[in-house]
Amino acid sequence: MQPSRLVRIALYLYGMLAIAFLYLPLVSVTFASISKARYLTFPIRQYSTVWYGRALESSTVNDIVMTSLKVAVLVTIISVVIGFFGALAFARYQWRFRGLFQKFILLPIFFPQTVLGLALLMWFNSIGVIPSWKTAVVAHLVWISPIATLIIAIRAYSFDPSLEEAARDMGASTWRILSEITLPLLLPGVVSAGLFAFLLSWGNFPLSLFTTGADSTLPEWLYAKMVSGYSPLVPTVGVFSIVASASIVILAFLLPWLVGKVKQNRPIKG
Amino acid sequence: MERLNRKLGFLSSVPLVAVLCLSFLAPLLVVAAFSVMPRKVFDLAHLPDFSAYAALFGQGYYRSLLWSLGMALASTVILFLVCWPMAYGMAKVFRRFTLVITIAVVVSLFVSENIRLFGWVLTLMKGGLFEGNLRAWTGSGFDSPLYNVSIIVFGLVYVYFPFMLFPLAQGIAMVPDDARQAAADLGASRWRVFREIDLPLAAPGIVVGSLLSFVLAAGALAESKLLGGQAVIVIADEVETAFTYGQDWPLGSALSVILILIIGSLAIFGVTRVDLDAIMGRKR
């Protein structure tokens, strides 16, 4: 029962419209970032890249970029490791509390992040930990490691357990099976989980808001400026953050293609 | 083999469960404990009382809660209506274009939500992308649609769009074409196919998508602050104010506990009714 031609065309148009709608605000931010005026109004009278220069010079901007980067890198590494094992427990092994485990790790995703951040602040306070960018790593992990787990689990579902069983029958140890069979087979899932983890941490605002203490991440700094009044640096730094995410995504798509090219060109040794 | 499976399954769940116990369950217990402390204390070494909860009902905080829940409900309903055609297209019509849409939507998620909302402010404000350009061309502008309740709902719909779209598309993909074909052959109208085949068979996706958008929207803060400009005070805002300006942790905790109870019971209700293996694409 395929829909009629007219309906199909309408659906395609609707899809394209929705994507345009998703990206429209980013267009405004980009225009704003290259406006010369200190107080922005459209249509823009004079274009200039002066605010990009200012942003690059600013030591505050450098600090917050470094903080965001440190947090995102740590979150990526930890959540991928946790998520790899979590996905095996989620999808691969049949064990007693699997159903309960699956439901339990979904709860942090179904949770208002601002409230979670505040709860963590109180928890750190009551165990005597002073909030800094390190506590923000913990906060991001609560939300991001379940997501990494789910992404790897999708891959783990389509994985043939008889491969592992064959290796075991031939006498391979559990550790050897994990590193030589399971990890290579799940690798695409692990890579995309790492990509998601990095980018979601890089752009996350509500979890960082209360958990970074005196440090500040990029989205947090932007929010503070937006609420306290307009600064011409806001669109500029915003565009910088968008470009950083976009280039990582592009790199992630290019990398497999490049690796394929290199492999093709390498002469086969006998 | 079965015994080994059980052991390995348990062992590999340990790291994630440990992280979540230490940084998800434990903080929630601390919030619950703080909510029964006397007002304006910063540690737990006090006799419990319920003065924070008394203030909660006495001082009209329920109004913020109702606003948050109401706007979350409105945005969830709108999201369902807006996302259904697109999710249907992604699951049944688009083929290769589905991949393009998926990538485009996922990439938009990687941009911090407050940058995207700020972009809407620049687009819609007086002298913004729409109004400013319109006035430059035609000589007359329009009043800014910013700073009221409907723009907050719009912001919620915008930000949580992917959280409804993807589960819905996954749910619709689970509806077998044969069932729809059979119903149509037997003379069911389009509406009847939708109501009696699509809706019930796609229910797991609908439940997950609606729950995710409702729950996240109910606890949202940035939409009302950036787009709504304090037109209404949402519950997350009250919680934040109690913690920061108010310096009243027990009050903030009591507000959080109420929100957590509502959202938590909804979330648990939802996730226990959905077969995750089926949604996530079990092949065996």
Flag whether the ipTM exceeds 0.85: no
What is the average pLDDT value for chain B, to the nearest integer? 84
B-chain residue closest to A141, CA distance: B19
Instruction: Return the axis-axis angle of helices B96-109 and A5-33, rounded to nearest 10°.
Output: 30
Could you report the per-residue pLDDT of A192-213, keeping only the tens digit for each?
888 889 888 988 888 888 888 7
Could you report the per-residue pLDDT of A57-81, keeping only the tens digit for each?
777 778 888 888 899 999 999 999 9
State whether A110 and B212 contact (CB < 8 Å): yes
Rounded CA separation B118/A241 (Å): 14
| pLDDT for residue A138 | 92
Provide the shortest C-alpha distance from residue B16 to chain A (in Å): 6
State whether A22 and B161 contact (CB < 8 Å): yes
In a domain, B151, yes or no: yes
In a domain, B83, yes or no: yes
| pLDDT for residue B156 | 92
| Cβ pairs bridging A and B (under 8 Å) | 301
How many residues comprise chain B? 284
| pLDDT for residue A97 | 86
> Hey, of A118, A211, A240, which one would you mutate to test binding to chain B, going by the most B CBs within 10 A of its CB?
A118
CA A224 to chain centre: 22
CATH number at residue B108: 1.10.3720.10
State whether B17 and A101 contact (CB < 8 Å): yes
Beta bridge pairs of residue A35: A47
| pLDDT for residue A38 | 65
Per-residue DSSP letters for chain A?
-PPPHHHHHHHHHHHHHHHHHHHHHHHHHHHHHTB--SS--SSPS-B--HHHHHHHH-HHHHHHHHHHHHHHHHHHHHHHHHHHHHHIIIII---TTHHHHHHHHHTTTTS-HHHHHHHHHHHHHHTTPPPSHHHHHHHHHHHHHHHHHHHHHHHHHT--HHHHHHHHHTT--HHHHIIIIIHHHHHHHHHHHHHHHHHHHHH--TTTTTTSTT---HHHHHHHHHHH---THHHHHHHHHHHHHHHHHHHHHHHHHHHHHHHHHSPPP-
Q: Which chain B residues contact residue A43 at CB under 8 A?
A: 132-133, 136
Segments in chain B below pLDDT 70: 1, 281-284
Confidence check: pLDDT of A270 > 90: no
Rounded CA separation A146/B15 (Å): 11
Rounded CA separation B79/B57 (Å): 32
DSSP 8-state code for residue B284: -
How open is the CA angle A140-A146-A150, to the nearest 5 degrees?
Answer: 140
Q: Smallest Cα–Cα separation from A151: which of A201, A209, A193, A115?
A: A193
Confidence check: pLDDT of A238 > 60: yes
In a domain, B189, yes or no: yes
CB-CB neighbours of B178 under 10 Å: 9
Provide the shortest C-alpha distance from residue A188 to chain B (in Å): 16
Provide the shortest C-alpha distance from residue A263 to chain B (in Å): 26
Confidence check: pLDDT of A18 > 70: yes
pTM value surpassing 0.90: no
B-chain residue closest to A156, CA distance: B282
CATH H superfamily, domain A59-229: MetI-like (1.10.3720.10)
Long-range contacts at B254-257 (CB < 8 A, ≥ 24 apart) = B254/B35, B254/B52, B254/B53, B254/B55, B254/B56, B255/B56, B255/B61, B256/A115, B256/A118, B256/A119, B256/B31, B256/B35, B257/B31, B257/B32, B257/B35
State whether B1 and A150 contact (CB < 8 Å): no
List the domain range (segments joined by +) for residue B85.
58-279
Candidate from A106-110, A158-162, B152-156, B166-170 with smallest mean pLDDT? A158-162
Total structural domains within chain B: 1
In a domain, B170, yes or no: yes
Please measure the distance between the N-terminal and C-terminal CA atoms of chain A and give it in whole angstroms.
54
The percent of residues above 90 in pLDDT, for chain A, comes to 14
| Residue with the larger pLDDT of the pair B270 and A140 | A140
A89 touches B: beta carbon within 8 Å: yes
In a domain, B166, yes or no: yes
Cβ contacts of B3 within 8 Å, gap of 6 or more: none
A-chain residue closest to B208, CA distance: A110
Q: Specify the residue for token string 């910063």.
A: B42
Of the partner residues B6, B94, B280, the one whose CB lies closest to the CB of residue A95: B6
Domain residue ranges in chain A? 59-229
Q: Which chain A residues contact residue B215 at CB under 8 A?
A: 110-112
In a domain, B36, yes or no: no
Rounded CA separation B53/B255 (Å): 8
In a domain, B82, yes or no: yes
